[in-house]
Each structure stands twice: as structure tokens, then as C-alpha cells.
Amino acid sequence: MVQLIADVLVVGGGTGGTAAAIQAARRGAKTIIVSEFPWLGGMLTSAGVSAPDGNELTTFQTGLWGTFLQELQQRQIGGLNNSWVSFFSYDPRIAAAVFADWVQELPNLNWISGQVPLEVLKQENCISGVRFADFTVTAKITLDATELGDLLAIASVPHRWGWELQSQWDEPSAPTTFNTLTEKYPVQAPTWVVLMQDFGELAAPEIPAPPHDDPVQFASAWDNYGAEQFLNYGRLPGDLFMINWPQCGNDYAEGVGRLIASPLSRYQFLQEARWHTQSFARYIQTQLGRRYGLANHIFPSINGESQDKFTGYSLGRGAYAMHPYYRESRRLVGITTVREQDILPAPESRVAPLPHAPAGFVNAIAIGNYANDHHYPGINFPLKSKSLRWGGRWTGTPFTIPYSCLIPAETDGLLGCEKNISVSHIANGATRLQPVVMGIGQAAGMAAALCVQLNCQPRDLPVRALQEALLQDKQANTAIIPLFNLSPNHPEWLHWQRYYLDHPEAYPASGNCPCSQNSSPLPPAICHFFGIFHRHDEQDYTFTITEPPLQGQWILVTLRSQVNEQLQICLDQQLLKVWGWLNHAGNWLLVEKIDS
């Protein structure tokens, strides 16, 4: 058995694990990342969710998440403004190449693919390494970055799976008693994403029916939307469509508990989930015509096997993601647990309360802002709203992730860095989103490297040292305090980040700090439009373009704080010159600058 030694071992190549490995290595730690699949990035790449949600405002595009978006913008022909579910949609092959290139740049980062953990090595209550099929890695700090928290189970680290009742943490949306919903769907539904393609006048190959094909279950899939809007939900460049559709679509959760019951039961669930998506893709084709078919050569094979291993049919190669989009996994029992009230706005506020450690200091290390979103097929589960209007559209209450929810309550030598952090089932609906998990991974990787440097356990690492390292990282400095009006390029950014860490009682309910106005650099090749501004309601605007060839009315939205403030004082029927991008999928004009 080959023996490998590292400072930091990252098990799993998902969104959080990839960020963790890159950050740990950039900080100087000798790092090994072991992934099951031939792409790094998880949800953002190998799971096919190439239209991510959350942290979309310019001020929240920080850290590795921000640099990832910048890199995509440079590499993706046609830009990222393609779909209406997200402001950032891209070919997953490009994202996988970004991560692979970042890894290649780091001589102290060793990436090994095609392996899963088999055994966890321990010295008393401290994890010291992991055995895989072909080698064993010993490390000072190990990170569980598996999609389903497998390392927690193998190591017998206390963890949760399923719902908590309202009596446990007083979460307003939690059920008061266990019921048929909590029994049938202990966790949120995974989705096996497929990429389809518009073949134009050419007839696409027919998608064969999988076993147990049942087209009736999809009959209402695009009701209230229409076929074109349905397809544009996840439109990607190159006439591709990401099919990740919750309404009578490819969410699948029949017997979802099988994912953690045994290897065989997991395989059976995955086979059914894949068939379910194949059935949905076939339904789309039969209803909308042979113009639409499976995309070719998107995702690579796994261990030399075709991506069709679950079907036995000859399909469009590489159309199906390498694994499902898992929205929930086993969840660590940590020093603290993120609850629903930790992600909701504080009273009379637009921001969530800052997390405090028992000693009273702020122990935040990552930010998120997405609405709390749960998926249970056929069920509309009501949750306490955390949405708010900003920039002419809906966004979500900003919240923070505490460092202590990454640390096991009892076990040393281990950090969580994926959807497996210590979080309630209810709050997981907001903490599971790709940018949040990337921020969690970056913080975990930085923490692991600092623990190696200081020769301490994660629970003994001074949180302020971690925060300072994240704030001042030379390649991807990241915000810790969410502020609507302060971008990292602002000269006062570091001052106000530190100020609210030192004075959390002064954190403004508006989410705006009293800084001077500063414009972020505009992207190259930006377009300008002349027209008439229309105010319909608070944070509800349209714009009539008056010059050909793009005359017509567009919804007006922005991700920039300065533009948001300008829009709030523009007069109805005012003539404007705006700079930005048209999104035909969502019929919106994304404004980067206004000349009044």
C-alpha cells in the first residue's frame, strides 16, 4: 500500500473541497485532494449546475467565488448573461478547466481522481488520515468534502440526517411533529441534471424510453411558463439548456434514504434518479419536437466507463452530469449549529444577525444571501420568507456562516467544508447554495493551513487570525461582513470589514455602511442604450429602448450598489442613457452604469 503524507488532506472534489484545497495550498500547506470524479468543482461542474444561485450582488462577489466569476467571464464566449434563473450561466467544461488550471499552478497541491474513502485512521479522538483503494494518506488536518458527508459516517463522527422539530431550536418553519412529509423525504430531493441542445433544422437522435418510463408525471412541467420560458430557465451558451427543473421535472427523491443505507441501495437510487431524468428529457423531446435532443460530449466518462452505465441504452454521450446535484447530506454535529433564525433578517433589519462565539466576538467566516429554498417533489413546503427587493428584483437577506459550525463537537483533526457543516435541515435550504459552499470551503482551507502553521487543532485556532487571513488574501480576499454598498475594490473596504468585526453592535440594519461612493470597474465591450425609464412600484422598473434595432420594453435590474441608489431616485418617464447587457431569456436589461 502506497503511503502519502500531507499537511492537509481534502477528501472529495466538490465545490467546497475544491475551494479548500486551492486555498490551503495557496497559503503554503502541502495539500492532497482526492476526488471521486475526473472534474473538480462538484455542483458547479460535475453535477452540471452551471447556472448557480446566490451571492450575485457585486459586493458579494468576493473571494474565490468572485475570482471564479471573473475567470468565467474572460473565457466564456458570449458572457454569462444567458438564462433567467441565474445571472451566471456557462458551459461546465469551461468551469472545470478553470479549477484544473488553478490546481496545476500549485506545485504543493496534488490532485488524485477516481478514488473514494474506505477507512478513516484515528489516534484516540483525532483523525490522522484516510485509506483509499490504492493508497493511504496521513495528514495533520483532514477535510470532509464528500457530497454526502461519507467521511463523517466512516469515522463515526456524530452527525445528523433528516428533520429537526420546532421544539429543538425554535425554528419558525420547522414542523411541530414528525409527519408523512418528514418520513417520505428526510432530506431534500437530489436532481440528476442533463444538458439538452437545440439542433435547429436537424432532427436530434431520438431519446429512448428508460425502464419505468412514465410521461404522465411530467404533464404540468411548464404550466404557467410556456415551453420557451421553460427552456430559457437554464439556457447556456452554444444553444445548450441545463435541465434542472423542480416543477414536475427531474427532482427525484423516492426512497432518498437509500443514499446512506448501503452501497447497493445507493446505486439503486442513483440508477432510478438517472432513469427519471432520461424520462424527463424524452418527454421534453416528444412534446417540443426532435429539434431538441441530448447534448454531445459535455461530461467525460468515469474510470473509462460510458456515462450510459445506468441505462444500457445508446444515448448522446456526455449529456448527463457525472452525479446528481445533492442539496443535502449528512450534517456534522458541530460546536455550534446554524439555525433558521440565524439566516433570517433581524427585527426591523435587512440583514441577519452576526454570529457570536461564547466569548462574545463575531466568528463569521463566509457570507450568503440566497432565499431559503427547499425541494420536495410534488409538495410546496412553506418557509418563513427572507427575500427582499433590491436593484429592481428579488434577492435574499444576507447572512454569515460561523467558523464553529465547521468544527466537530468532539473530534479533532477534522473540518467540514461542504453541505456537511453543522446546520439544521431547515437552514440548509439557504446554506447549501454554490457560492456559500465555495466560501465555506475557502475558509476551511485557510483554517487548515493556519492550523498546520500554528501547530494547533481547528477548535484552538484564533478566529480573528482566520478572518484576517481571509480579508487580506492576496489572490482572493473575501468579505466576512455582508454590506450592500461596499465592494472589495473600495479603499475603505478593509476598514469597515474590521470595524464591524470589532464593533458588531454597530452593524447597520440597512446593510449599508457610511462609506464614500466608489464605482467598480466596468466590464469591457459594454453596450449603451437610450430610452425612457418607467417606475411601477418600489424596486420595480422597466425601460423602453427608443433607438433601433432593439426597440421595446425591458425589465431594469442591477447588481451594483451605486446603480441601485440611482434607480431609486430616477423619475418616471425620465430619459436615460444606460450601460449594460440585454438578457433575452429573462427580458431584462442588466444595468452597469447610468448617465442621466
Closest CA to 351 of 486, 490, 495: 486
CA distance 37 to 112: 10
For cell 487543532, name the residue: 457
Amino acid in the structure at residue 334 = G
**CA-only gyration radius of the chain, Å:** 23
Dump pLDDT digits (tens) for 495-528.
999 999 999 999 999 999 998 876 667 777 789 9
Alpha carbon of 340 to those of 167, 255, 379, 412, 464: distances in Å? 13, 26, 20, 27, 25
CB 77 within 8 A of CB 237: yes
The pLDDT score that the predictor gives to residue 361 is 85
Question: Which of 444, 471, 506 lies at the terminal end of a domain, its last residue?
Answer: 506
Tell me whether residue 89 is in a domain: yes
Q: Which residues of 139-156 are buried (b: 16+ CB within 10 A; e: fewer)?
A: bbbbbbbbbbbbbbbbbe
CA distance 593 to 596: 10
Alpha carbon of 462 to those of 336, 362, 404, 467, 523: distances in Å? 16, 12, 11, 9, 38
Find how far residue 594's CA is from the centre of its chain: 30
Q: In terms of domains, do 433 and 572 share one?
A: no
Q: In terms of domains, do 117 and 30 share one?
A: yes
The pLDDT score that the predictor gives to residue 519 is 66
Q: How many domains does the chain have?
A: 3
Cα angle 514-477-447, degrees, rounded to a multiple of 5: 120
| Domain boundaries, position 207 | 194-294
Question: Which of 506, 537, 553 lies at the terminal end of a domain, its last residue?
Answer: 506
CA distance 324 to 14: 12
- 549 preceded by a cis bond (ω within 30 of 0): yes
Q: In terms of domains, do 50 and 112 share one?
A: yes
CB 501 within 8 A of CB 480: yes
Q: Does the CA dihedral 393-58-337-142 come out positive or negative?
A: positive
Find how far residue 432's CA is from the centre of its chain: 6
Q: Does the CA dihedral 22-26-29-32 come out positive or negative?
A: positive
Q: At what angle do helices 434-454 and 15-26 cross, to 10 degrees?
A: 40
Q: Three-state DSSP class for 57?
A: coil
Q: In terms of domains, do 17 and 121 share one?
A: yes
CA distance 126 to 303: 33
Tell me whether residue 445 is in a domain: yes
Pairing of strands 588-595, 575-583: antiparallel
The pLDDT score that the predictor gives to residue 356 is 83
CB 115 within 8 A of CB 297: no
User: How would you write 213-231 as a 3-class SS string?
Assistant: CCHHHHCCCCCCCCHHHHH
Please report, for the domain that includes residue 532, its CATH number. Answer: 2.40.50.140
pLDDT in tens, the chain (596 residues): 899 999 999 999 999 999 999 999 999 999 999 999 999 999 999 999 999 999 999 999 999 999 999 999 999 998 999 999 999 999 999 999 999 999 999 999 999 999 999 999 999 999 999 999 999 999 999 999 999 999 999 999 999 999 999 999 999 999 999 999 999 999 999 999 999 999 998 899 999 999 999 999 999 999 999 999 999 999 999 999 999 999 999 999 999 999 999 999 999 999 999 999 999 999 999 999 999 999 999 999 765 444 444 433 334 468 999 999 999 999 999 999 999 999 999 999 999 999 987 777 899 999 999 999 999 999 999 999 999 999 999 999 999 999 999 999 999 999 999 999 999 999 999 999 999 999 999 999 999 999 999 999 999 999 999 999 999 999 999 999 999 999 989 999 999 999 999 999 999 999 999 988 766 677 777 899 999 999 999 999 999 999 888 889 999 999 999 999 999 999 999 999 999 999 999 999 999 999 86
Q: In terms of domains, do 429 and 499 share one?
A: yes
Q: In terms of domains, do 109 and 255 share one?
A: no
CA distance 27 to 489: 22
Who contacts 123 (Cβ-Cβ below 8 Å, separation ≥6)? none
Tell me whether residue 469 is in a domain: yes
Q: In terms of domains, do 540 and 500 share one?
A: no
Closest CA to 83 of 281, 230, 289: 230
Tell me whether residue 521 is in a domain: no
CB atoms within 10 A of CB 122: 16
Please report, for the domain that includes residue 132, its CATH number. Answer: 3.50.50.60
> What integer best gives the mean pLDDT of the chain?
94
- Set of cell numbers at residue 367: 457570507
CA distance 46 to 330: 20
Tell me whether residue 464 is in a domain: yes
DSSP 326-382: -S---EE-BSS-B-HHHHSPPTT-SSPPPPB-TTSSB-EEEEE-------BTTB---
Amino acid in the structure at residue 389 = R
Q: In terms of domains, do 378 and 463 share one?
A: yes
Closest CA to 187 of 120, 270, 260, 241: 260
Tell me whether residue 429 is in a domain: yes
- In DSSP terms, 555 is beta-bridged to 542, 588
CA distance 344 to 350: 9
The pLDDT score that the predictor gives to residue 317 is 60
The pLDDT score that the predictor gives to residue 569 is 96
Tell me whether residue 222 is in a domain: yes
Q: In terms of domains, do 152 and 212 share one?
A: no
Instruction: Quote the pTM value.
Output: 0.96
Q: In terms of domains, do 567 and 494 share one?
A: no
For cell 465555495, name the residue: 438
Dump pLDDT digits (tens) for 26-85.
999 999 999 999 999 999 999 999 999 999 999 999 999 999 999 999 999 989 999 999
The pLDDT score that the predictor gives to residue 60 is 98
Tell me whether residue 182 is in a domain: no
Q: In terms of domains, do 204 and 125 share one?
A: no
Torsional class of 399: left (φ above 0), alpha (ψ -120 to 50), beta (otherwise): beta
Q: In terms of domains, do 30 and 104 share one?
A: yes
User: How would you write 434-492 as a 3-class SS string?
Assistant: HHHHHHHHHHHHHHHHHHHHHCCCHHHCCHHHHHHHHHCCCCCCCCCCCCCCCCCCCCC
The pLDDT score that the predictor gives to residue 358 is 73
Find how far residue 582's CA is from the centre of its chain: 24
